[in-house]
Structures are given as C-alpha cells and as structure tokens.
Amino acid sequence: PLSRAVRGATELLGIDPFYLACEGRAVVIATGKRAGDILEEIKKDSLGKKAEIIGHVEDRVGKPGELLLSTSSGGLRLLEPLTSELLPRIC
C-alpha cells in the first residue's frame, strides 16, 4: 500500500507510483488459496510487517494481460504499459 506521503507527492507531481523504481518492495502473485498463508509468512519477518494483499487476479475473456486498478473514487482504470521513463533509474 502507498503511504500518505508517497500518494500526496506522486499526485502533486503527476507521477504514477506504479512506474517508479522502489528498492525493497515486491509484488507477489499467488493463488487465492495460498495468498493468506504466504502473507502470514512474509509478515513474520520485520521487513514484511506492513505487507498486505492489494488486489486479485480475475479471468476476463478477451482481455488477456490487462491490469485494472481500483481508483480512490471507486472506479477502475487500466494500467498501461510504460512507454518511456518517468524518471532516470538510479539502480
């Protein structure tokens, strides 16, 4: 999840946080049956104490590879593939 500070800064700068380099973060994709167990294991480590389930995968006929994000207003938006660099990569 995004902290209030990161959300505010990215909104102010017009940058989508999903495209930023972020050291020490990971997105893990797991089946629904295993997601809770995996989350529990990650949270056992001090570095994973803020880990959360942030979404789920749905099978959408005719829409392979699409990633829809829930918006703060309750809508959905498509996460488009990045076509250029927003910021220089530092890693």
Give the pLDDT score at 42.
96
Give the pLDDT score at 91.
57
Give the pLDDT score at 43.
96
Provide the whole-model pTM: 0.64
Helices (H), 2-90: 4-13, 32-43
From the CB of residue 45, how many other CB atoms can be counted at a distance below 10 Å? 9
Q: Give the chain's residues under pLDDT 50.
A: none
